Every structure is written in structure tokens, then in C-alpha cells.
Structure 1
Amino acid sequence: MNLFCKVYILILLTGSLNAVGQSKALKLDELMQAYLNVNEFNGSVLVSRQGEILLKKGYGFRDRKLNATNEPQTIFQIASITKTLTATLVLKLVELKKLTLQDKLSQFCPNYPHGDSISIQDLLAHTAGIYNYTQDREFMLQQATQPATEAKMLALFRDKPLDFPPGSNWNYSNSGYSLLGYIIQKVTQMSYQQALNQYVLSPLQMTHSGFDFSQVNPDKRATGYYAQTGKEYTQEAPIVDSSVSFSAGSLYSTVEDLYRFHQGIQRHQIIGVNLQTEAYRPIRHQYGLGWMIDTVYSQRVVSHSGGIFGFRSNIARLPADDVCIILLANIETPALAELTKGLLAVIYEQPYELPVQKRSITLPESILMSYRGTYEISEPHLVIQVKVEDGQLIVYPAKGPRSVLVAEDETHFFDQLQESIRIWFEKDSSGSVDRMLITMNGNTRIGKRKND
């Protein structure tokens, strides 16, 4: 083959690859726009694969009053994605031999109850059994926006009984990650903020990330919104004080800065291969050290989501393929996990659906009453209460938020906030409702009705 032919073939291949990339970018944007149209996304997104950014864009309003739109540079509260950075910092301190994963809490907080049986790894993996202070509804609604000392925060959970013996079970705990922040301060002799800046943010040039969201220039930050009814995200949300969310959820950032974090992790710029591999090892409940671990399209995906007043976030990474999806929203949408799955489907050329606005009907209360009861899903185990309140069918998952169901017909319903979640009821041979079926993220789960 002569040189001309080789060059011609290379040009054809390059053009073909560019066309594929452009096609995926268009599909990614179409999917994002569809979620915007049904009011299930409003924020910024970045999608990349093997170092190529396929989509980087803002959607919807940064500030409704000013009609200012979101951009890739818009600053958002990232809430619990903070935990992945806190965990990375802890592992860096392990690498520097300033502590170990087996060190006990009592070494840093000598009088902490059960501190001799709670390890650093337990705190990172949510296996310590420590009460989660955000379950204190009165505190979160009345005091979370005010500065709090370490002593005040510890008082929220220090003397609560453990949910289980450390290491024996799993329960998500913001309190555990707050303790990690206090430990970081003792080990480094710096504030948590200074330590994270020195070991993570500055080395990765995450210059638009920080801690006190209330002090960010209003022209650069997004305003968070919540809904009083349905998906009408128009109410401005208060800002949780950074001393309250602290090392469990105080960080703000941009999609561009979080992409720098992804690149730094991929290149092992902060911690080495062995410790990063340890972080990706599921310990319990598909959670490792600061990451949720799952499998998508035969590839390991590590991710973390976040939620705080007026904001939702999600970062999902497939390390082997160097794929990264970052979603930052300034509305309290529950749809980010499903949206992430759709974006991955585009990248891996798998089937996906564009969300559409569903039509609803009003059912007589007598029909709704026939669905009342307790339903139990066996795997993974979940108990759901179905109630009728003010002429609406409401579901209450154990330890989860209530959801309002909207009727499509006499037996089929969808979630008012996330319309792709479908619920329907089936009857036995005698005509009595005996089970409910829930379809979410392409999976259907069956809940059998229990005798009340």
C-alpha cells in the first residue's frame, strides 16, 4: 500500500470517529433537553470518555429572578459528593502514614462511646453504626442554616445508641463523615478546609471549589430551588451552614472542577493504585471507601450522589474505560440516577427512552382505598406503606421519602416527581388486590400485600 492510500484511509477513519462522537454528543444533548422539558433536570452536565469531553453544557436557570442561565462554569453545592473528596484525603493521610484504616476512633476522640470498636474504615464505609444526625428533622429545619461548633454537632449523635455493632451492618451516616473531618484536623493540625485544599483541591487545580457557599459571588453561583407541590421548583432554598454539613457535605464546585478530580483520580495524582483499588472494593451494601460500586454493561462503575436544600448531584465513573458523568442540579430532582443510566446507555450504544410528560386522570377515592395496605418486597428487602391522604395515593417506603402517585388509569400510576417510575396493582382470583409492581431504571420489583 502506497503512502497516499495510507493517508487517505487515516483521513477516512478520523472522519468516521469524529462523526460517531458528534452523533453521541447530539444524543446526549437530546436526552438532557428531554429531562429539562419535563422539569426533571435543571443545572449543568459534563460527560467524557477517554479524555474526550462529549458534552459540557448548562440547562435551565441559574437564577430565576434574574433570568440567568446555567453554564458549565456555574457553581453548585455538591452535597454528599464531598464524601468522595473527604475519603480521598483520608486515604492520602494513610499513604503518608499519618493514620491507618485500622486505627480506632478512640485514638482521636478518647472519650467517644464505643470508640475502641469503631475504625477509620468503619467511618469511611458507613459500617460504624453511628446515628445519622440529618435524621433529626427539628435540627435540620430550624438550626441547620446557623453556624455550629464541633461540640454542638457531636452532641447531636455522640450519645445516641449505635444502630448495630460496628462492622456488622451498613447504614448511611453523615455523622461518621463529620467525625472524619474532626480526625483530619487533629492529624494534620490544620482545619479540614486547609487540609483538603493542600492535599486535593490545589494539586488538581480545582480553583472554583470551596466550602462556604453563602460567600460565593451571587453572579457565579446557582440558586437552589425546591417545590411545594409536584415538580414546580420555584421556591428558593435556604443554605445549610458549612459548619453543619462540614466534611460530609459542605463543598461547592463546578462540573469542570469535578472533571479535574476525576482526571486526578484516574492518573493517581493524589493516591496510589493500591489504595485507590481499596477504595473501589465494596465492603457492605455496595459501598467502598467513599464510593458506591456497581456494574453497568459489564464494567465497574463507581459513583456518589448528593442532596442538600435546593440541590442534587451525581458523579459516576467507569475507571476501566475512563468514562465520567457529572450532573449538578439546582432543583431537588430525584431523577439523576435514572438520567445517569440514560447517558451511559448513549455512550455504550444501548437502548434508552426519552422522558415525556404523562397525562393523568382523577380516580374516585373508593378505588384508591382498595390499594391501601402494607407491601413487602423480598429482594432487596423493602416494606412500603400505601395510604390515601387528601384524595391522593401516597407511598411511604421504610426509611425513605414519601411519594405521591398519579393515576394513568384505574390500576396504573406514576411518581409525581419522577414520571418514569411506574407503579401498578394486580388482583388475585377473588378480585382482591394482592400485590404492587414497581418499575424503575428498567427493573421491576414485586411487593406482596401483607395481611394488616
Structure 2
Amino acid sequence: MSISINLINFYIMKKAFLFLIILETIVNSVSSQSISDLLDGYYAYNRFNGSVLVARNGEIVFQQNYGFADRENKYPVKESSLFNLASVTKVFTATAILKLHEDGKLSIYDKVDKYIPGFINDNTDSLTLINLLNHTSGMSANLAQTDNSSNHGKIVVSDSEIVTTDQLISRFRDTNLNSRPGEKFNYNNYGYLLLGYIIEKVTGMDYLDYLNKDIFSVAGMTNTFGQRFLPEQPVNGYIGIGTTNIMPVKEDMFPGWLIGAAGLYSSVSDLHKFLEAILSQRLLNEETLNLMLDTCFVINKGNKLWTVGWEKNVLDGVNLYSHGGSIKGFSTRIGFVPEENISIVILSNLVKDKSQDGPSSVNYSWVDEITEDIVRIMKGKNVAYLPMPAKKHGNLKTGSYLLDDVNFINITSRKDSLFLETDNQGNITLFNYNLYKEITDLSSEYEVCKIFVSYITSGDLKDFGKYADDKMKKAAFDEKGNVATIDFWNYIVSKAGKCSSVSIYNKDEQNGSKNYSLAFHLDKAEVLMQLSFNDNSQINGFYILKVFPKCDIHTVKLIPTGKNEYFVNGYSYGGFKDFHVKYDKPAKRISFESGNEVITASRQINSRVTMSK
């Protein structure tokens, strides 16, 4: 009898085990399929090119390469392709410093002066290695520039000049502190160059030699190198993200500038090994790992903090630790979620052309958004996908559609494609339509918004603080804050021309505050700001939301994505927002959706069909 029972128990356990395997396979395949859908959309619109790897519990659940490592010769991206990591190098520097801390060869609480006496010309008694690690040093010195002489900094030495680390340190010795160490977060490349230098002084080894010995070899990494020791041609970098005008670009910065702060090259699989070595405590023991992850500094009012070497982002209830890097032609990010034992590697060799930058905030790449969406997918959350193009454009009728009593759009057809057109004599386009709509409001807060407009456009915020609560008076509308805001405004005006009009285009209530959104219409740009008010109608928040180029795009292509569904690829027209378009045939109405924004247009009954060749 006991044998039979054991056999039955074994059979039940075997079935349960098989069920768990099947269930895990299904979960992983669903995640992989969803991640694939996400990346396929980015790739379809030239918003991503490179390698992606996602793992859970040490097992790879998604890995895919997209596009070309060398477009000119049609060489595809491979698993072993070497990407310029840019600032992702910093996580290796931070890990090395923590390893030396763990081994008792230094302490992250040591003063920097202990290793580099007189490295700047200021009181550095409280400036420690941890301040360099979490970017709270307060130093004005930064790689390639110092802002001792002006607000915008001055170039100390050209990027391509051959210079040693000792020479760089000498050039920065006469710089000062901008703030007390530990007081403010200010991302600083020079601090990580100093950390790389300290690694060499403490170990008596070359920076890369130490990484090879105590980091790369321990993690099993065999495909990570410094710029000067590349065994093969790395992936080429390109500009032109989101467009069809993709061009090669090369970073000419001398490697001596980069030690500790940037300069490493690696592959998606090698970086996976590094993250797994971190999570499995093979590189750092539990105490040191906790020190790395829990030593946090708040870097803004959102959910982001900076730890020892990593940015910490509270994302949908879990902690995402990650670090990004950007340099000409490349954008990278690696990260992990300890609670879920998830690790992510994203390497891209396609970015925007920064030489064309005006006063705008157009995405440099989409690596950060992809990283966060992958975390959400792995947690079973829904994310927005870029729709894949379809062949047929459905039943959308050409002709005129009314947006309101004054403005309208035309849907035209040429060469089997549909296009949306707005009046090219006016300011209104699909991308800025809602920014020109003035809300109807009789509140005192609305009146304060109009007063703010008159103050800032006149170039003087003096006395405006009387409309703010005590906290905001000190934080944003004291003498220093007013000067900073007016300096920003004058800079924008100098780049984008005069302000012709202002619209108070949106009002909402969140977290107990009434929020008013303002659009300043300049000659060459739109500047979006927000004023928030408490229950006493006092300003308790002031934000500069976004600056982007003035839109003069009056014709856009409607890309078919399904039955009576279309997509407007806004990014391809200069970094504007995308729209998902739906045509309600019975109602003869078009809806345009972008995030929470919805625009509707109804077809005129006597609309004349417009056809173009």
C-alpha cells in the first residue's frame, strides 16, 4: 500500500512539476512576445537599432538584435557586437571602488584629498569618495568645461586633444566648489575620472587591468574592452533616429578624457553576465551590495534617486536600478530589478543629430522608455505599442473635417496614400492645435496665470513672489530664483525669437493642487510651463515642462495600421508627438489620440472631396 501511495505521490509531484515548467514557459513566452511587439514597433519607425537582452532569475527570456552594425556594408548587429557604452562605464568604476572598499583597501567615506591632495582650489574637508560616486561633490569642474567664469561654462581643452589624466587634474586644480558636498545632485563626469585615477593609485595597476582582474574575470566577461584595446571593429554609430535620413557619425574624443567615466566597449551578452554577477553576489557580498543600493540621494521631486553608481527609479511599485550612457551615435542602458530578479541590457547605435539642436527637448533616443516598458511587461502590465504599418488604408473618406467653428483639416489622397492637411497660412497644425485653445475660466488662479505671463514676458519677476506660498517664495521666487528664471527666458528668446502670444490651454487637479498649463508661442519654439495652486489660491508649484521647435508641418501622412485605423509618426517630422487615428464611419468622425490628448474632427455634410495626384 505504501508503495502505491508513494507512486501516486510521485506521479502527482511529477505532474505538478511539469505544470510549473509549462506555466513558466508560457509566462516567459508571453513576456518575450510582448517585448518583441514593443521592439518591433520601434524598429519599424527607425527609432531603435541595436541589441536587447532581458533575463529573469538568471535565465534569458528575450534576446534579439535589430538592424545593422555597419549600414554601409550591410553587416547586421550580432550578439557579440561591441557597442560604445559611454557612461555605462561608470557602473564598473563604482563596482571597482566598492570592491576595494569591501577588501579594506579604501573606504568610500575617505576624503578625496587623501588620494589626490589639492585636486581643486577649495575647502574639500567634507568631500568624500561617496560624493563622487553619487554626483554630490559640488565641484564646478567637469570634463571639458568649468563654469567658474560663466553660467554656461567655458571649454578648457578640446575633446580631441591628447592629454593624460595627470594633466587633466592639473588643469582643474584652480577650480572651486559650486555648492557644499552632499548638498545638491549634479551629474559630473570629472568625479568619475577622479575615481578611475584613485583605483590606479590604490591598486598600483592600470584601470583596465584592475577591471579585468577583479571584475570582468569574476563575472565571466570575455568581450569587454577599453577603446585602445579593441580586438575588432566595433559597431558604427549613426544619427537620424526616427527618420529615413540616417548618417554615420564618429566620436573623436581622446580616450584619456574618459578613464573611469566612459570609454568601455561591450556586448549585450557580456553585460548580462555582469548584471547576473551583481545580483548573485559574486562580485560584491551582501553587505556591500546593500551599501551600493541603499545609499540614496534624491535627485528630483519624482521617484528618482541616485545610489552608489546607479540611478534608482521607483517604477510601478518596484525598484529599477539602472544607468544610461550617450555619446555620438550611441545610447545605452543596463539595469536590474532586485525584487523580481530581472536584468535588462539595451544597446543602441542610432540617436538624434545633436548638432541640429535648438532649444528643444526632442528624444536623443528611446532607450529609457524601452527599458521602463520592458519592466512593466515583465510585471504583466499593459504598455503602449507603436502600431505596425498595414497595406490598406481602410474606408476613411477624403474631404474637409471641422475641428471647431473656425479650424478644419483636409484629408487628401495621392499615390494610394492618405494625407492630413491644415491651413498652411495659419499657426494651427495637428501637433499644436490644443496649445492654441484658451480655456474658459473666471478663477483667481487664472488671473494670476495672466499676471505671471505679463511679468515673465517683460523680463522681470520682481515682487511676483507675493502670489506664492512661503515654500515657493524661497524655492523659486526669491531673488536668486527670479534671476535664474529670467536668465532661462532670455536665453530661450535669444535662440527662438520673441513671444507673439500665450495660451492658458489646460487646467486639471492632481494631488490637491490646481494645475494650469501655459503655452508661450515664440517665433521658433513653443515653451510649455505649469503653475500649480493650493487651496488658498497661492502658487505651490512652478515647472518648465518642455521646449520644442515651432511646428510648421501642415501636411502629414496617415499610415494605415488596421481597419479604419491610422498612425501619424510625429517624431519623423521633427520630434513631435505621435497620434493614433481612428475613423468612425457611421458618425463620419475622426479621432486623434496622443496620450491623454484627444482631438476630434467631423466631416462637413457638403464637403467637397479633394483629390491630388
* SS of corresponding position for 1:202: helix
What is the deviation of 1:266?
A: 1.0
Counterpart AA for 1:23: V
What is the deviation of 1:299?
A: 1.5
The one of 360, 365, 373 aligned to 1:334: 365
How far apart, in 2, do the equivalents of 1:419 and 1:283 lie? 33
How far apart, in 2, do the equivalents of 1:303 and 1:60 lie? 24
Q: How high is the TM-score relative to the length of structure 2?
A: 0.61
* SS of corresponding position for 1:35: helix
Contact 2:225–2:264 under 8 Å retained in 1: yes
* SS of corresponding position for 1:46: strand
- Are residues 8 and 189 of structure 1, via their aligned partners in 2, closer, same or farther at CA, if it must alter by over 3 Å? closer
Q: Determine the structure 1 residue equivalent to 2:336.
A: 317
> Is 1:284–2:416 an aligned residue pair?
no
Q: Determine the structure 2 residue equivalent to 1:217.
A: 232
Q: Determine the structure 1 residue equivalent to 2:35.
A: 28
Q: Determine the structure 2 residue equivalent to 1:61.
A: 68
- Are residues 401 and 66 of structure 1, via their aligned partners in 2, closer, same or farther at CA, if it must alter by over 3 Å? farther
> Is 1:167–2:182 an aligned residue pair?
yes
Counterpart AA for 2:289: Q
> Is 1:297–2:304 an aligned residue pair?
no
How far apart, in 2, do the equivalents of 1:236 and 1:155 lie? 31
Q: Determine the structure 1 residue equivalent to 2:374.
A: 343
How far apart, in 1, do the equivalents of 2:545 and 2:77 lie? 30
- Are residues 156 and 44 of structure 1, via their aligned partners in 2, closer, same or farther at CA, if it must alter by over 3 Å? farther
The one of 246, 251, 255 aligned to 1:233: 246
Q: Determine the structure 2 residue equivalent to 1:99.
A: 106
How far apart, in 2, do the equivalents of 1:364 and 1:249 lie? 48
* SS of corresponding position for 2:17: helix
- Are residues 279 and 232 of structure 1, via their aligned partners in 2, closer, same or farther at CA, if it must alter by over 3 Å? farther
Counterpart AA for 1:31: L
How far apart, in 2, do the equivalents of 1:149 and 1:82 lie? 18
What is the deviation of 1:111?
A: 2.0
What is the deviation of 1:117?
A: 3.0
Q: Determine the structure 2 residue equivalent to 1:393.
A: 525
What is the deviation of 1:71?
A: 1.5
What is the deviation of 1:161?
A: 2.9
How far apart, in 2, do the equivalents of 1:405 and 1:157 lie? 40
Q: Determine the structure 2 residue equivalent to 1:267.
A: 280
- Are residues 78 and 19 of structure 1, via their aligned partners in 2, closer, same or farther at CA, if it must alter by over 3 Å? same
Q: How high is the TM-score relative to the length of structure 1?
A: 0.81
What is the deviation of 1:157?
A: 3.8
How far apart, in 2, do the equivalents of 1:178 and 1:37 lie? 38
Structure 2 counterparts to residues 429-440 of structure 1, below 5 A: none
Q: Determine the structure 2 residue equivalent to 1:431.
A: none
The one of 122, 126, 143 aligned to 1:133: 143
The one of 189, 195, 218 aligned to 2:210: 195
Q: Percent identity, aligned pairs only?
A: 25
Instruction: Spell out, residue by residue over 1:362-420, the C-alpha distance to the aligned partner (whole angstroms, 9 max, x if none).
Output: 765756999798799x9x9897766647975366999999744657889x996666555
Contact 2:96–2:215 under 8 Å retained in 1: yes
- Are residues 243 and 399 of structure 1, via their aligned partners in 2, closer, same or farther at CA, if it must alter by over 3 Å? farther
The one of 162, 168, 171 aligned to 1:147: 162
**Moved beyond 4 Å, runs of 4+:** 134-140, 228-231, 356-376, 380-392, 394-403, 405-410, 412-422
Counterpart AA for 1:238: E
* SS of corresponding position for 1:54: strand
Contact 2:239–2:350 under 8 Å retained in 1: yes
Gaps of 5+ in 1: 423-438, 444-452
Instruction: Spell out, residue by residue over 1:237-293, the C-alpha distance to the aligned partner (whole angstroms, 9 max, x if none).
Output: 234332112110111111111111111111211221112111112123110110111
How far apart, in 2, do the equivalents of 1:396 and 1:237 lie? 34
* SS of corresponding position for 2:365: coil
Q: Which has the higher contact order (CA 8 A, sep 6+)?
A: 1
What is the deviation of 1:296?
A: 1.9
Contact 1:407–1:413 under 8 Å retained in 2: no
How far apart, in 2, do the equivalents of 1:56 and 1:350 lie? 20
What is the deviation of 1:17?
A: 2.5
Instruction: Spell out, residue by residue over 1:418-447, the C-alpha distance to the aligned partner (whole angstroms, 9 max, x if none).
Output: 55589xxxxxxxxxxxxxxxx99x99xxxx
Contact 1:93–1:99 under 8 Å retained in 2: yes
Q: Determine the structure 2 residue equivalent to 1:206.
A: 221
Q: Determine the structure 1 residue equivalent to 2:86.
A: 79
Contact 1:405–1:414 under 8 Å retained in 2: no
How far apart, in 1, do the equivalents of 2:553 and 2:241 lie? 22
The one of 259, 262, 267 aligned to 1:254: 267
What is the deviation of 1:147?
A: 3.1
Counterpart AA for 2:278: I
How far apart, in 2, do the equivalents of 1:361 and 1:91 lie? 58
* SS of corresponding position for 2:52: strand
Contact 1:125–1:284 under 8 Å retained in 2: no
Contact 1:130–1:157 under 8 Å retained in 2: no
Counterpart AA for 2:318: Q
What is the deviation of 1:65?
A: 0.7
What is the deviation of 1:143?
A: 3.2
Contact 1:307–1:313 under 8 Å retained in 2: yes
- Are residues 214 and 264 of structure 1, via their aligned partners in 2, closer, same or farther at CA, if it must alter by over 3 Å? closer
Q: Determine the structure 2 residue equivalent to 1:352.
A: 383
How far apart, in 2, do the equivalents of 1:421 and 1:97 lie? 53
- Are residues 365 and 180 of structure 1, via their aligned partners in 2, closer, same or farther at CA, if it must alter by over 3 Å? farther
Contact 1:40–1:335 under 8 Å retained in 2: yes
Contact 1:60–1:70 under 8 Å retained in 2: yes
- Are residues 128 and 253 of structure 1, via their aligned partners in 2, closer, same or farther at CA, if it must alter by over 3 Å? same
Contact 2:41–2:388 under 8 Å retained in 1: no
Contact 1:405–1:415 under 8 Å retained in 2: no
How far apart, in 2, do the equivalents of 1:89 and 1:79 lie? 17
Contact 1:225–1:330 under 8 Å retained in 2: yes
The one of 37, 55, 59 aligned to 1:52: 59
